[in-house]
Amino acid sequence: MKTLIFNGSPHKNGDTAYLINGLVRQLNDDHIVVNAYGSDISPCVDCRYCRTHPGCSIHDAMQEVYSQIRESDNIVIASPLHFSELTGKLLCVASRLQMFYCSDRALGITQLVKPKKGGIILVGGGDGKPDRAVKTARALLHTMNCADIYEPVFSLNTNEIPASQDKAVTEKLRELADFLN
């Protein structure tokens, strides 16, 4: 089993990283974390290459991520909420999933035949609501062939209680790990 985790946080030691590390400690498999803010991945530029070719014209770190997506059994999207949505840098990385969509829809080539399980971890403080981010994360997970997606794990009061002190999220992470294992 292999789990691929997309980390949308700019903070190496923030609340999102804390929850990712808590999940990783409970996984019984190999895992890879793609840090959106530390990666050399350009956003999609809508060049339309993937509409006529089974690949992407941009040759950067995303080429390796495409391989990891294909090989993974589980995919998790973890992000802080920025204006009730996944972070911009994570969305830039995710825009490159367009290649899978076009390959399937425009070319009739299904590159992701291996079904996967998915998970969502969202962190936020303030008055933002997670609904829009959950909808986006689910759409991205479906694009990566995750048909079975566990209920989102939330720590939404980090402006008052750090995720490390959020007792409810600890149990939810354990349940997510059990689902993925």
CATH superfamily of 2-180: Flavodoxin domain (3.40.50.360)
CA 145 remoteness from chain centre: 12
**Scanning the structure block, which residue is given the tokens 């923030």?**
14
What pLDDT is recorded for position 107? 95
> pLDDT tier at 28 (50, 70, 90 boundaries)?
very high
Cα(75)–Cα(104) distance, rounded to whole angstroms?
19
Strand, helix or coil at 22? helix
**8 A C-beta contact, residue 116 and residue 144:** yes
Cα(38)–Cα(89) distance, rounded to whole angstroms?
10
Mean pLDDT of 35-59: 97
Spatial CA neighbour of 118 closest among 63, 168, 179: 179
Mean pLDDT of 37-51: 96
Domains of the chain by residue range: 2-180
> pLDDT tier at 126 (50, 70, 90 boundaries)?
confident
Q: Examine the pLDDT at 128 and tell me if it is beyond 80.
A: no
Beta bridge partners, 6, equal 34, 77
Mean pLDDT of 132-152: 97
Mean pLDDT of 109-131: 93
**Alpha-helical segments (H) within 8-163:** 15-26, 62-71, 88-94, 98-105, 131-143
- At 65-112, the pLDDT tens digits run 999 999 999 999 999 999 999 999 999 999 999 999 999 999 999 999
Mean pLDDT of 22-46: 96
The pTM is what?
Answer: 0.96
What pLDDT is recorded for position 142? 96
Spatial CA neighbour of 129 closest among 77, 163, 82, 76: 82
